[in-house]
Chain A
Amino acid sequence: MKKILLKGNEAIALAALKGGVDAFFGYPITPQNEVPEYLSKYMKDAGKVFLQAESEVAAINMVYGASASGKRVLTSSSSPGIALKQEGITYLAGAELPCVIINVMRAGPGLGGIQPSQADYYQITRGGGNGDYHVLAYAPENLQETVNIIKASFDKADYYRNPVMIAVDGLIGQMMESVDLDSDIELKMIEKPWAASGKNGGNKRIITSLYLDPYELERHNLHLQEKYTEMKNNEQQVELINIDNAEFVIVAYGTMARICRSAILMLKEEGIHVGIIRPISIWPFPTKAFTTIDARLKGYLVCEMSHGQMIDDINLSVNGRKPVEFFGRAGGVIPEPIEVVDAIKKMKESLI
């Protein structure tokens, strides 16, 4: 239970080592560079593989190869780099290959900027790659939670044979907090009889996402959908903050949720009771949380460091039962709590 002070990106690297990572493939991009820098220093000595690829495209395909042959593999990037990896991610999902992908999000579109942002919610939860696929995606709000999720994510990836993405923004990657790296998570190293690493006297293994027969491909898709249904049933993670007696509920994740924590304290001093639904898994989205909310609730305010992407999932979850409004800043601007306070007050006035 020893806590040490760590920078976010270094905590990510250490958590991956604790999670049993065998190999890392990545390409430099701000603001995640400390992840590969840290791993480049320690992985080789630990008998693991670290390789800086020639591009994000190559990196995700190295991940594909190492995963296809049975190893625990990590890659790390940031928004424009994740865009480049999307082709590889759909191939990983299609070929049912596990891996862990870190996304230290920055502002877009295009080259955008290097400041923190949440404008890649669609990219992560809707997928930039082709076809009906999903990645299991988490958006932690602090370093301890980030570490815990990363450590457990290799097991999740192996269990579902599917990529897992952990999305933090640049602020979480760059900030320092105290972390207990040995938090209590028991790793389950499952066998991978499907892995292509030489027949060794057994049957030949094929790793592919190609099915030219449409009926066979539909069957494969239905199998994938069964996994996604299992994820939706079992992997929704959410924190409910001050929900009892809340008049309004804010929905926010990651850094934005932390800002909202300050905002609801300020609102409480003014006698306005506001709770927070904080999605920890963003795919599957914690829809179940919305069905348990008090009927006295006046409405939801969705807060994002974007111009509104997660709000689609709140609208789908609330389904018109309550008003849903939005507050967001984008381009790498980090909102002040007072802006959230004002947004709640404005919403309260408009609903009277």
Chain B
Amino acid sequence: MNDIIYQKTKGLTNQAMSYCPGCTHGIIHKLVAEVLEEMNLLNHTVGIASVGCSVMSYYYFDCDMIQASHGRACAVATGVKRTHPNNIVFTYQGDGDLASIGIAETIHAANRGENITVIFINNGIYGMTGGQMAPTTLLGKKTTTSPYGRNIEDHGMPIKIAEMFATIPKVAYLERLSVGTPQKVKKAKKSIEKAIRYQQEGKGFTMLEFLSTCPVNWGLTPIEAIKYAEKEMTEYYPLGVFKDVDQDA
């Protein structure tokens, strides 16, 4: 009767999270933390927090954490990993941080094959600053800086990070995931395990792109937001493995 059947992972602290209801940051945090705990890596991991809604993720993950400036998480991770090759190093970045201001640092870290794991959260909007257009915002989507909707003429097409990074030879593992259903959550956890295992094995740069939600800035309820991510976002950003050195070999 009193058996514990579920409890919070030791990979997360007791700090109350700052995320909005219906946002999937919490689920993805939990998955990353569970994997680090289950792989017995919490004592050997250094996480890099970025700038955006997840700016205070350093409070939530119960491992050593370094706060990076906006966009530079992969450069900071490079500095840590190159000098501490035996540590597990991961970055946790949103689409403004990674796909916009930090695209150069991310591409070059991937191109050098830095042996780090990038957790990339793509919700197609700048959440923390109040819902501005991101490079990943879908066409037609109204944001506070695209009040008439994103259009190709002014803004170009939404940038496809996973497809772009799949062309880089030293990327070891790259997958786009969703946490919109329980099945996808379970699958996502397996992919995080794989990425971290590849890092342990020294296989090189691993990145997981998560389609995520922003109900507040999308102007949707949490359930509507999940549906939007599962339909509209997934249509443009197809899920799947884009690179896997073990499969490709």
Contact = CB atoms under 8 A, between A and B. Distances in A.
Interface of A: 22-23, 25, 49, 51, 53-55, 57-59, 61-69, 71, 73, 87-88, 91, 95, 196-201, 204-210
Contacts of A87: 69
21 contacts: A23-B82, A49-B82, A54-B104, A57-B75, A61-B72, A61-B76, A62-B82, A63-B79, A64-B76, A65-B83, A69-B46, A69-B80, A95-B67, A198-B46, A198-B63, A200-B44, A206-B66, A206-B67, A207-B66, A208-B65, A210-B67
A245 to B, nearest CB: 53
- Which 7 interchain pairs have the tightest Cβ spacing? A65-B79, A61-B75, A208-B67, A65-B76, A62-B79, A66-B79, A196-B64
A62 B76 contact: yes
B58 interface: yes
Contact of B80 (A66, A95, A200, A205): A66
A68 B58 CA distance: 14
Contact of A204 (B62, B75, B87): B62
A205 B75 CA distance: 20
Nearest to A71: B83
A68 B89 CA distance: 13
Interface in B219-238: none
Contacts of A58: 72, 75, 78, 104-105, 108
A91 B46 CA distance: 18
Contacts of B80: 65-66, 68-69, 196-197
Interface of B: 13, 42-46, 48-49, 55-56, 58-59, 62-69, 72, 75-84, 87, 104-105, 108
B75 A53 contact: yes
Contacts of B83: 22-23, 49, 65-66, 69, 71, 73
A197 B82 CA distance: 12
Contact of B66 (A68, A73, A88): A68
A208 B47 CA distance: 12
Contacts of A197: 46, 64, 80, 84, 87
B98 to A, nearest CB: 14
Nearest to A201: B43
Contacts of A199: 42-43, 63-64
A61 B69 contact: yes
A209 B49 CA distance: 12
Nearest to A49: B82
B82 A198 contact: no
A25 B65 CA distance: 21
A69 B72 contact: no
A213 B133 CA distance: 28
Contact of A198 (B43, B55, B67): B43
A69 B62 contact: no
Which of B13, B56, B58: most chain A CB closer than 10 A?
Answer: B58
Contact of A207 (B43, B56, B65, B82): B65
Given A197-B46, A201-B43, A206-B58, A91 B79 contact: no
A59 B63 CA distance: 25
B217 to A, nearest CB: 20
A316 B136 CA distance: 52
B79 A67 contact: yes
